[in-house]
Structures are given as C-alpha cells and as structure tokens.
C-alpha cells in the first residue's frame, strides 16, 4: 500500500487561541476535499489553542488533524506544568511531535526521554511524529548518519514493528530550521533513506516500507515540490510557513 503524504504545521510558540481560530478557519477556506484526499493535513498549535482549534475542526467537520508539539510520558500526578497523553487524547489530538530539536536543545529532552514520550503516545492510541536531525557541527564532522540513527533508535526503542509502521518520523536538520536554508532535496532524501533503512533493519522490512518519513526545515511553497518528488520523502513538517494560511495551503497543494 502506498504511503499517503502528510503535511503538518508546527506553529511552535505562536498564536493565542483567538488567532489560532482564525488561522485554522482561513486554512480551511483555501483547501477542498480533493486536497484532503491526496494529503493528510495536520496543525500543531500550542497547548493553549488545542481546545479552540478542536472546536473549529469539529463544528465545521474539517478533515484537518490536530497535533500537539510535545507531551509528558507520565499519565498523571505531581508534575507541575506537564501535559499528559490522556489529556491530549480527550481533546481529539491525533499526532504528537516528540524530540523536536528545540525540545532537545533548549529544554534538555534526552534521547531516552524522546523514547518514553513516543511509547506513551502510542500506548494512548495517538501517533508520534518522532523528530530527528543533526546540527551543522555534526554534519560537518561527517556524523549525520550516526547521529540521526542513534536518535531514531532511542525514539523507537521497544516499540513493536506493526506499531512503528503507523508512526511518523521527521528528518529535520537543525541547521535548516528557521534559517531559510533548506537541505537540498538530494541531501534530505539521502538522510531519509538512512532512516528508512534503519527502521527496516530494526523493525523489519514491512515497517521500513510503511512508516511515513517527513522532511522539515525552511519548507515553503517554492521548495516543497522538489522534496515531494523524492520517493522516500512522504511529506513535511512546516514551521514558519505554516503560520500563514495562504502559504501553508500552498505547501499542502504541492503539486499545483
Ligand atoms: P521552519 O519551517 O520554520 O524552518 O521550522 C521547521 C520546524 O522546525 C518544523 O518542526
């Protein structure tokens, strides 16, 4: 079975819930049923906007999936400031980004943390988007494959092959995030190929062939088609361009 593309917008720490309502409404005006048939579309607003965006999606029956940007792996308890998987599930959240490079670099998420988060997300019936990517320093030192393979292994540790098959991985080279400097599509496809081969190796050929792997890092309407033309790249995790509904819709409609 072919892999349906997924284009997910990571809004990061942008938009109040009022702005978020407008953003998802505007996005919905720019997409139609034929677009959703071709591409799975998701938006990942901050926690404070999830409920508002969920309400718009449900009220207007939009085929837009809701995603969260992070989660705690623990179910509940005295963990001030944390948000659990059951809390997200109750809001209709479908995808949860785990291991974004900003979480790793700024908030200290370790490889083991990312694995626990991915496991908790799957346990709760949601889909993790496991983000991996090398820094510029690591790329220049020739460590890219080793770094992303290690991050991926830790992220998918202990997860059954059939479950890995329905998970999502995002390859986001740190040096391409928010910089306007994309990986060139060949370079991105090469790393995505490394990740797919690693999954085939660790979880079997079926999981390797089925898992969706996205590219992320300065994706915009002008460059998305070149990434989507790569056989192994199944979509994009979009930051800055996802904040503008016109631009995000144009990324979703990458073939136009
Ligand atoms: P930009 O698209 O702003 O580079 O961000 C990419 C990203 O980090 C998505 O998760």
Q: What is the pLDDT of residue 183?
A: 87
The structure's pTM equals 0.97
Q: What is the pLDDT of residue 101?
A: 97
Spacing, Cα 143 to ligand 1 middle (Å): 22
Q: For residue 28, how many other CB atoms are within 10 A of its CB?
A: 19
Compute the average pLDDT of residues 226-240.
Answer: 98
Compute the average pLDDT of residues 166-191.
Answer: 94
Tell me how far apart the alpha carbons of residues 180 and 5 are, in angstroms, rounded to a whole number.
23
Does 17 participate in catalysis according to the annotation?
A: no
Q: Give per-residue pLDDT as tens, 88-112.
A: 999 999 999 999 999 999 999 999 9
Spacing, Cα 77 to ligand 1 middle (Å): 32
Residues framing ligand 1 (Cβ under 6 A): 10, 100, 172, 177-178, 216-219, 237-241
Q: Is the model's pLDDT at 181 over the cut of 90? A: no
Whose tokens are 């391409």? That residue is 176
Between the alpha carbon of residue 115 and those of residues 29, 71, 118, 131, the distances in Å are 37, 12, 5, 11
Nearest CA to ligand 1 atom 1: 239
In CATH, what class is 6-252? Answer: alpha beta
Q: Which atom of ligand 1 is nearest to the CA of 170?
A: 10
State the Cα torsion 17-174-40-114 to the nearest 10°.
-80
Q: Give per-residue pLDDT as tens, 11-21.
A: 999 999 999 99
Spacing, Cα 78 to ligand 1 middle (Å): 32
Does 172 participate in catalysis according to the annotation?
A: yes
Q: What is the pLDDT of residue 180?
A: 84
């Amino acid at each position: 079975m072919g892999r349906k593309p997924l284009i997910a917008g990571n809004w990061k720490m942008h938009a109040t819930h009022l702005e978020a309502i407008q953003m998802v409404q505007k996005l919905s005006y720019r997409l139609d049923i034929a677009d959703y048939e071709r591409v799975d579309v998701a938006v990942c607003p901050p926690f404070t906007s999830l409920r508002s965006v969920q309400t718009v999606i449900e009220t207007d029956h939009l085929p837009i999936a809701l995603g969260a940007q992070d989660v705690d792996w623990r179910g509940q308890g005295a963990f001030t400031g944390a948000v659990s998987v059951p809390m997200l599930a109750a809001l209709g959240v479908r995808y949860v980004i785990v291991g974004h490079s900003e979480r790793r670099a700024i908030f200290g998420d370790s490889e083991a943390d990312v694995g626990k988060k991915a496991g908790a997300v799957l346990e709760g019936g949601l889909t993790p988007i496991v983000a991996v990517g090398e820094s510029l320093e690591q790329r220049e030192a020739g460590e890219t494959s080793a770094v992303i393979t290690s991050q991926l292994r830790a992220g998918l540790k202990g997860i059954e092959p059939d479950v890995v098959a329905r998970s999502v991985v995002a390859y986001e080279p740190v040096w391409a995030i928010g910089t306007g400097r994309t990986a060139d599509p060949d370079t991105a496809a090469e790393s995505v190929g490394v990740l797919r081969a690693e999954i085939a190796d660790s979880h079997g050929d079926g999981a390797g062939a089925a898992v969706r792997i996205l590219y992320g890092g300065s994706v915009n309407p002008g460059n998305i088609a070149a990434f989507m033309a790569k056989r192994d790249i199944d979509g994009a995790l979009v930051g800055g361009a996802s904040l503008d509904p016109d631009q995000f819709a144009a990324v979703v409609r990458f073939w136009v």
